[in-house]
Chains A and B, each alone.
Chain A
């Protein structure tokens, strides 16, 4: 079961369009009570009722982790995506009731660090907004390097540079500004941890560069939510439940299992946490593994699948669910 995903009924109390791509949403508890505190880097899974389809998308919480009156998230419109962000942008109105999960943190600060070095790309800025508020309280030492496409698309740049003029460095792609990663990583004092959130390429770049410079992997933290991708429809048999489910072109395996009324485990729904790992009992076909979780041996064995992002192409798939 959706461990750690206890639900909260909320009301959308504010919607702010930040720029062409990003809109901010504010949620307050519908019963007027207080929300749980969280730690910087946590996300919530937002449930969307989209014409009979239930979408569950994770979004990083960007508000002050100690503020129990409201949560805020920022959603980047993805015109090519499967529709979750478009639903948020086009259909959600102030006053709407929604259901969100308790916060879950897969990208927390390591508070043993002497210094926190944050690297953000685009909408990857959101978890850092909460982490910076958390560090403000703890007087933690941090430095943020934030790359955005252009000034017009630089969400929260003004707020960040006004509040932390010495700790925030912004780079605009359209002005050919780029993070000098090699130099940045070379000059960090012992005990620094680096955190990166942004596009896949950026995460790879930071992980590779830091490893080559001798950074221990325990000091390198990253978060990338994969959105499930569409693919060919396929059929899956759930052995324990004794049912067969059709997985549609635009839904994930996990969503199809849930649609059939089966309570399957999940946390991140983005291939990162490992919670949804499911044993394969039988298969005849090819797996389309897209997660960041399984080891290569697991993949080669054909005995495991992460239903939140991975798919299957072929004749038979039987899962231990």
Chain B
């Protein structure tokens, strides 16, 4: 099972739910990796939904394990893309053509959900009306508060900023605007005093 129960944290930290079918004329579903399982659960709960669903899926290391099952759910459009970045133009186009009543479902990693959430809210959907379900990796998309660079798929705390090389402490402080958690220099006061990295939630 690809679900993980995040321990309670500060209010800034996003919380995710369980995707549930909602009435609507059109459904946009965006998932990466094990997020596909959440979409398949949704299809099992309400197969009708998929007749008007546009599914954008990024396998992200899961190979083609989910491609056939997703096809079998019979979505009106299934797009399997190589990366989130590559699917952004498609997401924007779908949103710009959409009408009120579109339902948005996001599933998979926090980085994917956060970024896709930004696209949907920028298109005018209230963030509280967008459904999310976390599946798979607990890796985080981190922003270095010093150089502002984004490091994707961070699995340890602390970690080294991919842009400026500082060693950063992984905070639960989240920015919806950047769709990223904040990373803060861990040895600013005592340079060189860096604890051993520990895997997140291990």
Interface residues of A (CB under 8 A from B): 112-114, 185-192, 211-219
Residues of B contacting A215 in the complex (Cβ-Cβ under 8 angstroms):
100-101
Chain B residues near A217 (CB, 8 Å)?
Answer: 129
A185–B103 alpha-carbon span in the complex (Å): 15
Chain B: how many interface residues by the 8 Å CB criterion? 18
Residues of B bordering A, CB below 8 Å: 22-25, 95-96, 98-103, 123-126, 128-129
Contact at A186–B124, with CB atoms within 8 Å? no
- Say how far A168's CB is from chain B's closest CB, in angstroms: 20
Q: Are the C-beta atoms of A192 and B126 separated by less than 8 Å?
A: no
CB distance from B198 to the nearest CB of A (A): 39
| Dominant secondary structure of chain A at its interface with chain B | loop
- Decide yes or no: A190 and B124 within 8 Å by CB, A185-B100, A214-B102 being known contacts: yes
Tally of A-B Cβ pairs under 8 angstroms: 58
Q: A213-B100, A214-B25, A214-B103 are in contact. Are A191 and B128 (CB under 8 A)?
A: no
Q: Which of A185, A186, A187, A191 touches B125 (beta carbons < 8 Å)?
A: A191
Distance (Å) between the CB of A172 and the closest chain B CB?
Answer: 27
What residues on A are CB-neighbors of B96 within 8 Å? 190
Kindly list chain A residues whose C-beta atoms are within 8 Å of the C-beta of B23: 211-214
Q: Which A residues lie within 8 Å of B101 (CB)? A: 185-186, 213-215
In the complex, the answer to whether B128 meets A216 with C-beta atoms within 8 Å is yes
- Chain B residues with Cβ below 8 Å from A114 are 124
B128 touching A190, Cβ below 8 Å: no
Q: Which chain A residue has the least Cβ–Cβ distance from B27?
A: A214
Judging by beta carbons under 8 Å apart, are B25 and A190 in contact? no
B13 to chain A, nearest CB (A): 21
Which of chain A's residues have a CB closer than 8 A to the CB of B100?
185, 188-192, 213-215, 219
Q: Which residues of B contact A219 (CB under 8 A)?
A: 100, 126, 129
A209 to B86 CA separation, bound complex (whole angstroms): 37
